[in-house]
Amino acid sequence: MIGLVAAAAVMLSAPALANDPRGTWLSQSGETRVRFADCGNQLCGTIVAASGQARDEKNENAALRSRNLVGIRMITMRANGANAWQGSLYNFQDGKTYNGRMTMPSANSMSLSGCVLGGLICRSQTWSRVN
């Protein structure tokens, strides 16, 4: 009986864990790895590896253009429903920060959308879980 209760508890908690974005993700281009973790009452994505461009050369703030991409908080999100988050996305390729949305179509797939004009124009990417 105790084994059955334990198995039921694991099964009930599995869906919540399946769509948990915490961990490391590979960008759609395969050039950037971002680790998602709690930061206060938000979820933050920090660049942990980047190939190619090693510096934040396109940043709108000239004083930040020489900083290393690794370590930059690229994504900040707050929960907005059961499987959705909303916040901001920094795009180091153009140096701009966008309003963003994030969903998890599956445990190993993340959809990120950066938007302008109040969400009228959005660009989306699908990222893959690394771990």
Give the tens place of pLDDT for each residue, 82-120. Answer: 789 999 999 999 999 999 999 999 999 999 999 887 767
DSSP secondary-structure letter at 19?
T
Indicate the number of domains in the chain.
Answer: 1
Predicted confidence at residue 11, as pLDDT, reads 36
User: pLDDT tens for residues 28-68?
Assistant: 999 999 999 999 999 999 999 998 878 999 999 999 999 99
Closest CA relative to residue 75, chosen from 63, 92, 58: 92
Residue 16 pLDDT grade (very low, low, confident, very high; cuts 50, 70, 90): very low
Over residues 60-78, the mean pLDDT reads 96
User: pTM higher than 0.85, yes or no?
Assistant: no
Predicted confidence at residue 83, as pLDDT, reads 85
CATH number at residue 74: 2.40.128.520
Residue 14 structural domain = 2-129
